[in-house]
């Protein structure tokens, strides 16, 4: 056992035969061998990711006890591209993992010593409740695909572990001053993350160096300041350790400087650039930093063109992010010599026409109003962001004002985000103003459409922005090279506005390709901006209105959100790749893509879904496995056993909606291979071990996986996987029949029948074993997960074959819990709007009123509501900082679309019928009623009108849709409808089992239901 009194221990000097074995993910190869080390022999670890996005690990048994503080160190060098490097410690169960993770670690070709201290090692995953690392049985050294992927070699030697004795009280520092330097001896090495230099008023040094030393003789310069402004100078130093600190001043009049105090800040203060700026924001005037940097949750939406590789963001407060992880343009207004920020005004949001992806943010002050509007112009190959600023005088007197647009090293994507794209700070090393444009790190990134009155740049140390924007001195500098990497700049536009007048200004920022400076063709900037905005608006109107749904005004937000959600899915895709987001989730999961594709098909975007299937299919592994997701690194090998069924479903839906036989023929070998891989998986769970009573409920299911986020700690036999798998068998059999392959169709149908029997038996046995009255999320757990269970209904098509008591018990419990959450009778902190799927489940169960109560709850949680979107996570306290995922979240957009469209029409698999108007409430039938035009179904486009008239309700159905085998079905909402005199095309018709079947189109239905206002 290592303790505070033990000597340093050599864990592996690599002089003996290698104890390290390779472990790789699908599609990756690796090997270990001996090679020259630092002194003597070391280990060589070769890896090759091929075309996959996976990992390669060197693993060995290495029992270690952890007591007190410690450090694990080794020497490393590499001939390898930039990838992630991880040290993992695994307990005896193999389920619980602790790690130190260095994302995109650029390993030197020369030997360097790497040390991980106790504070660097975090719990990674596992089912254990106590996350304290006390003992590990195995160690892994892992290279996982990061920025570059590819292949290479890593060399490791001299693996050690040492105890770190508890630190005693630090001695009093000894301070030595000379005319040009201040030196502090802290007596012992001190660890810190930043320092603040406190200068006497008027006696600061503008140019100085900060150096460290461990012995007082050998010094290394860690920071140079060339344009300090005095007061308190904060310096971000990262994780630092030193005994001596020296500040050396360089001006000739050094004797006039007085450094009153050097304040060391703890490691957390300087743990990252985000930590540093969040600490600074606490002490700054509110509004001088973005809301997300100031301890509040902020919200945003995406800016882009359909299928563009790059996107921008706009925050709810009007800051515009130039590109993924890019800088922002943040507005300020100077009125009567005072700087106004987002914190000093009333802020509101809107979309053009209520649904177009052209968002605006309006600042309302007592005397003026500023509206910031942003949109993307161009094509996926060449596009740019356009920012428009309308500054209006709303007072009865003339006003002289200044609009300031600051270019700042912060993203809209706030520090609370942590997946995929590093959030928060966006470093800027060099910044220059060239008279009409800003160059950021050497590339022209911002053009001003009109000449500013003032323009300038500033280093972080100079602290000009936003502190001095109300004056003019900040604009003297036109180019800066910022050693700290946090340069900023600003443009100022001075105007005098008559009462009711406004001035319009604009910026252009390149997104995709090299669009170059905007060409105004001789028109005024405001005319050009208006023309470009209307051009983009017209393009989106045409794209988003292929399906037309008209509803009464109170229901209009639902239809507007439907159209906005379609735009969000189109903008978040990268070329053909459908993705749930552009920052945290900028990769393509097949589960997201399959469900997004269904939403796209139902709204007439066949080519987008077709392109996605063609793009994704080649990433299938050689053994038939469908990767759970794909990104620029290739196929992800993580075993998520829903993937096969989702891919097959995608191909099947394309057939149902497009009848593209050429596509199906081309993809059939991949469908067949995916089904065969799934069959191999399923049969692996039908062995004798799973016939034992304790495991009988696992018999015949797909193997355990982590496809469900709730099971990421430990793989489980997820019914999410099983429902998708069964859908895959049914669809594969159908596709085989379509292609004239009766033997394949019969075999797949038989496999699916067997799987269904095993699955239904498992669902019942699981409920009995766990003593539950609902369908479990996972057999082992008996957990309650209705949002996952919705897949059994749609697209699973199992509603009529599931155990009816358990199915109703599932959604009845969900309803009661949802009501308690809505009404505040139970505590809750946050939820995921994936729950929108339950709206569709309620419609299919005939719970029309409940479906709309759920919808009303979810619609209130759009943030901001006017932008018609949801993040992945919704918090009860809208301003409590948390990870929220992408905004908007494309998969949630598809969940909303699918549920919203189910209100108007959906397919019932059990009898191959189309159910129409099942979610339309009575109040919508008043006045003009409901009109649906061009809604895509598997049987063709559907048109209908439904409205209340004197004496009853009239519904007309037309379109080019073929009547499905089971007919078009209208379900009665209550007994009055079932008893009402009803005609179809003037002939008497009967309701059977509460359903009215239409066997031919066009059709006019009249139901003689006595009506009162809003209540037929």
Looking at residue 1, what is its pLDDT?
Answer: 38
Residue 221 CB neighbour total at 10 angstroms: 11
Say if CB 374 and CB 350 are below 8 A apart.
Answer: no
Instruction: Name the pLDDT band for 17 (thresholds 50, 70, 90).
Output: confident
Ramachandran assignment for 415, one of left (phi > 0), alpha (psi -120 to 50 degrees), beta (any other):
alpha
Extract the runs of DSSP E, i.e. beta strands, from 283-382. Answer: 300-303, 312-315, 320-321, 328-335, 338-340, 346-351, 359-364, 368-378
Answer yes or no: is pLDDT of 3 > 60. no
Query: Model confidence over 76-126: pLDDT tens digits?
Result: 999 999 999 999 999 999 999 999 999 999 899 999 999 999 999 999 999
Taking the C-alpha atoms of residue 513 and residue 638, their distance in angstroms, rounded to an integer, is 33
Looking at residue 302, what is its pLDDT?
Answer: 98
Answer yes or no: is pLDDT of 1016 > 50. no
Taking the C-alpha atoms of residue 459 and residue 235, their distance in angstroms, rounded to an integer, is 13
3-state class percentages of the chain: helix first, strand second, coil last, to nearest 5: 25, 35, 40
> Any idea which architecture 9-164 has in CATH?
Sandwich (2.60)
Which is more confidently placed, 633 or 724?
724
Query: Model confidence over 125-162: pLDDT tens digits?
Result: 999 999 999 999 999 999 999 888 899 999 999 999 99
Element holding 264 (H helix, E strand): strand 259-265
CA distances 427 to 328, 389, 467, 482, 877, Å, are 11, 26, 19, 10, 31
Answer yes or no: is pLDDT of 779 > 80. yes
Q: What is the mean pLDDT of the chain?
A: 95
Answer yes or no: is pLDDT of 637 > 90. no
Taking the C-alpha atoms of residue 913 and residue 967, their distance in angstroms, rounded to an integer, is 5
Strands 548-550, 112-117: pairing kind: unpaired
DSSP of 19-60, one letter per residue? --EEEE-TT-EEEEEEEE-SSSEEEEEEEE-TTB--EEEEEE
Answer yes or no: is pLDDT of 164 > 50. yes
Looking at residue 209, what is its pLDDT?
Answer: 97
Query: Is the pTM here over 0.85, yes or no?
Result: yes
Instruction: Name the pLDDT band for 1014 (thresholds 50, 70, 90).
Output: very low
DSSP state letter for 926: S
Ramachandran assignment for 782, one of left (phi > 0), alpha (psi -120 to 50 degrees), beta (any other):
left
Query: Model confidence over 907-934: pLDDT tens digits?
Result: 999 999 999 999 999 999 999 999 999 9
Looking at residue 747, what is its pLDDT?
Answer: 98
Chain length of the chain: 1016
Query: Model confidence over 176-208: pLDDT tens digits?
Result: 999 899 999 999 999 999 999 999 998 999 999
Answer yes or no: is pLDDT of 828 > 90. yes
For tokens 């060099």, name the residue. 430
Looking at residue 255, what is its pLDDT?
Answer: 61
Answer yes or no: is pLDDT of 1013 > 60. no
* Mean predicted confidence (pLDDT) in 511-527: 90
Coil/strand/helix, residue 728: helix
Instruction: Name the pLDDT band for 846 (thresholds 50, 70, 90).
Output: very high
Taking the C-alpha atoms of residue 858 and residue 832, their distance in angstroms, rounded to an integer, is 10
* Mean predicted confidence (pLDDT) in 831-844: 98
Answer yes or no: is pLDDT of 903 > 90. yes
Q: Nearest CA to 56 among 19, 27, 93?
A: 27
Question: Tokens standing for 330?
Answer: 């943040």
What percent of the chain has a predicted confidence (pLDDT) above 90? 90
| Residue 692: partners with Cβ closer than 8 Å, 6 or more residues away | none
CATH, range 287-515: 2.70.98.40
Query: Model confidence over 970-983: pLDDT tens digits?
Result: 999 999 999 999 99
CATH assignment of 174-271, given 3.30.70.260, 3.40.50.880, 1.10.10.10, 2.60.120.260? 2.60.120.260
Answer yes or no: is pLDDT of 471 > 90. no
Query: Model confidence over 642-690: pLDDT tens digits?
Result: 999 999 999 999 999 999 999 999 999 999 999 999 999 999 999 999 9
For residue 440, what are the β-bridge partners?
431, 443
Element holding 551 (H helix, E strand): none
CATH, range 572-797: 1.50.10.10
Mean pLDDT lowest for which of 60-64, 95-99, 163-167? 163-167
Instruction: Name the pLDDT band for 1015 (thresholds 50, 70, 90).
Output: very low
For tokens 């799927």, name the residue. 837
Query: Model confidence over 524-580: pLDDT tens digits?
Result: 999 999 999 999 999 999 999 999 999 999 999 999 999 999 999 999 999 999 999
Q: Which residues of 599-613 are buried (b: 16+ CB within 10 A; e: fewer)?
A: bbbbbbbbebbbbbb
Taking the C-alpha atoms of residue 378 and residue 304, their distance in angstroms, rounded to an integer, is 9
């Amino acid at each position: 056992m290592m303790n505070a009194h033990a000597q340093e221990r050599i864990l592996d000097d690599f002089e003996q035969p290698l104890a390290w074995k390779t472990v790789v993910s699908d599609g990756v190869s690796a090997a270990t061998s001996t090679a020259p080390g630092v002194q003597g022999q070391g280990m060589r670890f070769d890896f090759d990711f091929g075309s996959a996005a996976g990992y390669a690990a060197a693993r060995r048994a290495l029992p270690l006890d952890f007591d007190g503080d410690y450090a694990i160190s080794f020497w490393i060098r590499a001939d390898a591209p930039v990838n992630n490097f991880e040290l993992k410690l695994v307990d005896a169960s193999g389920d619980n993992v602790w790690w130190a993770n260095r994302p995109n670690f650029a390993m030197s070709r020369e030997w360097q010593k790497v040390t991980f201290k106790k504070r660097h090692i975090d719990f990674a995953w596992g089912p254990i409740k106590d996350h304290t690392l006390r003992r590990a049985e195995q160690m892994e050294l892992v290279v996982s695909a990061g920025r570059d992927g590819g292949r290479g070699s890593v060399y490791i030697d001299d693996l050690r572990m040492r105890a770190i004795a508890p630190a005693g009280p630090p001695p009093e520092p000894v301070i030595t001053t000379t005319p040009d330097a201040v030196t502090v001896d802290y007596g012992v090495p001190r660890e810190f993350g930043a320092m603040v230099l406190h200068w006497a008023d008027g006696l600061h040094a503008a140019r100085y160096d900060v150096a460290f030393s461990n012995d007082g003789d050998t010094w290394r310069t860690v920071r140079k300041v060339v344009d300090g402004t005095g007061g308190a100078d904060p310096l971000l130093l990262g994780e630092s350790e030193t005994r001596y600190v020296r500040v050396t001043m360089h001006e000739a009049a050094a004797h006039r400087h007085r450094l009153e105090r050097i304040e060391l800040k703890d490691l957390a203060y300087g743990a990252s650039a985000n930590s540093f700026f969040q600490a600074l924001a606490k002490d700054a005037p509110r509004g001088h930093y973005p809301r997300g940097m100031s301890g509040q949750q902020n919200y945003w939406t995406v800016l882009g063109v359909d299928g563009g590789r790059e996107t921008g963001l706009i925050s709810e407060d009007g800051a515009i992010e130039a590109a993924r992880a890019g800088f922002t343009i943040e507005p300020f207004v100077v009125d009567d010599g005072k700087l106004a920020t987002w914190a000093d005004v009333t802020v509101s949001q809107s979309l053009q026409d209520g649904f177009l992806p052209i968002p605006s943010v309006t600042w309302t002050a007592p005397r003026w109003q500023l509206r910031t509007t942003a949109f993307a112009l161009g094509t996926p190959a060449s596009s740019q962001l356009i920012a428009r600023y309308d500054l209006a005088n709303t007072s009865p007197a003339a006003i002289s004002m200044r609009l300031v647009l600051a270019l700042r090293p912060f993203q809209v994507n706030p520090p609370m985000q942590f997946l995929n794209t590093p959030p928060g700070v966006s470093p800027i090393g060099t910044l220059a103003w060239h008279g009409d444009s800003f160059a950021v790190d050497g590339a022209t990134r911002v053009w001003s459409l009109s000449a500013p009155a003032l323009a300038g740049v500033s280093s972080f140390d100079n602290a000009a922005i936003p502190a001095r924007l109300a004056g003019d001195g900040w604009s003297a500098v036109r180019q800066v090279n910022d050693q700290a990497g946090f340069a900023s700049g600003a443009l100022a536009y001075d105007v005098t506005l008559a009462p009711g007048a406004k001035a319009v200004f604009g910026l252009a920022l390149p997104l995709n390709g090299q669009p170059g400076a905007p060409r105004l063709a001789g028109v005024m900037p405001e005319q050009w901006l208006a023309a470009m905005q209307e051009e983009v608006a017209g393009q989106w109107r045409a794209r988003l209105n292929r399906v037309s749904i008209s509803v009464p005004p109170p229901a209009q937000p639902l239809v507007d959100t439907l159209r906005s959600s379609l735009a969000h899915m189109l903008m978040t895709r990268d070329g053909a790749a459908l993705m749930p987001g552009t920052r945290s989730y900028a990769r393509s999961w097949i589960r997201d893509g399959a469900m997004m594709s269904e939403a796209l098909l139902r709204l007439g975007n066949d080519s987008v879904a077709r392109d996605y299937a063609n793009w994704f299919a080649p990433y299938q592994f050689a053994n038939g496995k469908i990767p759970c997701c794909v990104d620029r690194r290739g196929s992800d090998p993580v075993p998520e056993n829903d993937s096969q069924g989702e891919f097959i479903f995608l191909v099947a839906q394309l057939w149902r909606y497009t009848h593209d036989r050429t596509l199906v023929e081309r993809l059939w070998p991949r469908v067949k291979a995916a089904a065969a891989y799934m069959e191999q998986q399923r049969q692996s769970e039908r062995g004798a071990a799973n016939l034992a009573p304790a495991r009988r409920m696992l018999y015949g299911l797909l193997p355990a996986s982590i496809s469900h986020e709730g099971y990421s700690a430990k793989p489980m036999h997820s019914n999410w996987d099983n429902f998708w798998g069964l859908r895959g068998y049914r669809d594969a059999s159908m596709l085989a029949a379509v292609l004239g392959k009766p033997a394949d169709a019969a075999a797949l149908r038989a496999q699916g029948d067997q799987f269904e029997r095993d699955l239904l038996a498992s669902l019942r046995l699981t409920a009995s074993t766990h003593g539950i009255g609902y369908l479990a999320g996972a057999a082992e757990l008996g957990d309650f997960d209705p949002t996952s269970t919705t897949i059994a209904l749609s697209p699973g098509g199992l509603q009529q074959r599931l155990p009816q008591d358990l199915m109703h018990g599932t959604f009845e419990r969900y309803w009661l819990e949802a009501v308690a959450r809505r009404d505040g009778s139970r505590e809750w902190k946050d939820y995921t709007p994936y729950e929108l799927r339950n709206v569709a489940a309620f419609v299919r169960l005939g719970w029309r009123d409940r479906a709309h109560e759920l919808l009303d709850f979810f619609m209130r949680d759009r943030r901001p509501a006017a932008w018609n979107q949801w993040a992945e996570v919704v918090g009860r306290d809208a301003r409590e900082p948390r990870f929220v995922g992408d905004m908007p979240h494309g998969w949630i957009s598809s969940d909303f679309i699918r549920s919203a469209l189910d209100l108007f029409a959906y397919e019932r698999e059990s009898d191959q019928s189309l159910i129409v108007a099942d979610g339309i409430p009575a109040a919508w039938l008043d006045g003009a009623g409901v009109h649906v035009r061009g809604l895509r179904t598997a049987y063709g486009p559907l048109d209908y009108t439904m409205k209340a008239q004197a004496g009853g309700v009239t519904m007309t159905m037309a379109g080019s849709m073929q009547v499905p085998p089971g007919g078009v079905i209208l379900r009665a909402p209550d007994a009055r409808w079932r008893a009402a005199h009803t005609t179809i095309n003037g002939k008497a018709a009967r309701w059977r089992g509460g359903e009215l079947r239409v066997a031919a189109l066009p059709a006019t239905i009249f139901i003689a239901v006595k009506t009162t206002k809003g209540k037929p």
